[in-house]
Amino acid sequence: MTNPIPLGVLGYPAGHILSPVLHNKAAEVLGLNYHYLAYEVHPDFLEEAVRGAQAMGFRGLTITIPHKVAVAKLMDELSEDARLMGAVNTIVFEEDGNLVGHNTDGIGWLRFLEETTGEHPRGKKCLVLGAGGAARAIAVKIAQCGAAHLDIRNRTYDKALELAQFVEKSVPSSKVNGGGLDDLYSVADGCEIIVNTTSLGMWGDAERMATTPIPENAIPEDCICSDAVYIPPDTEFLKAARRAGSQIVRGTGWLVYQAAAAWKMWTGVDMPTDIVMEVLNQSLELRLGGES
């Protein structure tokens, strides 16, 4: 067998990154000769790492925290999503030497939302909690989808306002408000989709893991609640949403579907998402060590 075609992810730090598990499982199941590794790259060496991967015959790269915005400047071309989001999470090394930057966070989230609930943000009142990198991708995607209204709420008020303005500029037809976390009861009232993109609920800190980004009794009945956090898969927010009578959309699905979109660009083949989801859940169980 010839050497595998290299794929990888660049992040800083990189020890916690789960995407090798997903992509290597896909390669194994499909019998394709790709191998995917995680690389810890300091921001000062990002350009060298990208050029080096291209020189070594990589087919593509995943780009994660903190490089998603900085790497966009190194691309020869950007997909529409990457341009509108101002961030790249997937690079394709084209045969003609071009570096094409994509962003699969929004489309991965949307596909999983549609598959899980049969619903779409078009015409809906939506609320995004958080204003960091994940919020940027989701807020732009919700706006592109033609939501009736979008609110972005964040602990740091100014960042929510900045993101709201950014989204309205990227998608001129959109109506977006930004603000703090103080009046979530009135903001959430009548919402049909709520997406948590804060790190509240995430494993690694007991207090953070026990916290929801919105009070349980502010979650409207019959709402769709989606979490970016995937460890644990059932966050306190999703548990509260279920008790409130909402449908839930797990962060694990979002993670797998954004990876599946990148995998298809690199290999031309669909990722076997059911099997990959199973292996992700097994890895998370091991990492949680029975705490979930």
Question: Does residue 228 bind ligand NAP (CB under 6 A)?
Answer: yes
Task: For residue 226, list its beta bridge partners.
Answer: 195, 249
Residue 247 · residue 116 · CB < 8 Å: yes
Furthest CA-CA distance within the chain: 61
Q: What value, to the nearest 5°, has the Cα angle with vertex 80 and ends 260 and 196?
A: 60
Identify the residue among 202, 209, 238, 262 touching ligand NAP (CB under 6 A): 202
Question: Does residue 244 bind ligand NAP (CB under 6 A)?
Answer: no
Helix axes 273-288, 19-30, angle to 10 degrees: 140
Question: Does residue 198 bind ligand NAP (CB under 6 A)?
Answer: yes
Q: Which is nearer to ligand NAP, 76 or 183 (CB)?
A: 183
Phi then psi for residue 27, to 5 deg, are -60, -45
Q: Which is nearer to ligand NAP, 199 or 283 (CB)?
A: 199
Q: How far apart are CA 48 and CA 136, in angstroms?
A: 26
Phi then psi for residue 275, to 5 deg, are -70, -40
List the x/- string, 69-108, binding to ligand NAP by CB under 6 A.
------------------------------------x---
Identify the residue among 53, 110, 195, 200 touching ligand NAP (CB under 6 A): 200
Q: State the number of binding residues for ligand NAP (CB under 6 A).
A: 24
Phi then psi for residue 269, to 5 deg, are -120, 145
User: Which of 143, 153, 201, 203 minimizes the C-alpha distance to 178?
Assistant: 153
Cis before 13? omega within 30: yes
Identify the residue among 199, 281, 283, 292 touching ligand NAP (CB under 6 A): 199
- Output the smallest distance, CB 136 to ligand NAP, in A: 8
Whether 73 is a known active-site residue: answer: no
Number of residue whose CB is nearest ligand NAP: 132
- Output the smallest distance, CB 61 to ligand NAP, in A: 16
Q: How far apart are CA 215 and CA 38, in angstroms?
A: 37
Q: Name residues contacting ligand NAP, limited to 107-166 (CB under 6 A).
A: 130-135, 154-156, 159
Q: Which is nearer to ligand NAP, 255 or 260 (CB)?
A: 255
Q: Pick the catalytic residue: 25, 68, 124, 125?
A: 68
Q: Name residues contacting ligand NAP, limited to 1-40 (CB under 6 A).
A: none
Sequence-ordered list of residues with C-beta below 8 angstroms from that of 170, at least 6 positions apart, any chain: 84, 85, 86, 140, 143
- Output the smallest distance, CB 198 to ligand NAP, in A: 4
Question: Does residue 255 bind ligand NAP (CB under 6 A)?
Answer: yes
* SS3 (DSSP) at 151: strand
Question: Does residue 258 bind ligand NAP (CB under 6 A)?
Answer: yes
Question: Does residue 261 bind ligand NAP (CB under 6 A)?
Answer: no
Residue 131 · residue 181 · CB < 8 Å: no
Residues classed as catalytic:
68
For ligand NAP, the binding residues (CB under 6 A) are: 65, 105, 130-135, 154-156, 159, 197-200, 202, 228-230, 251, 254-255, 258
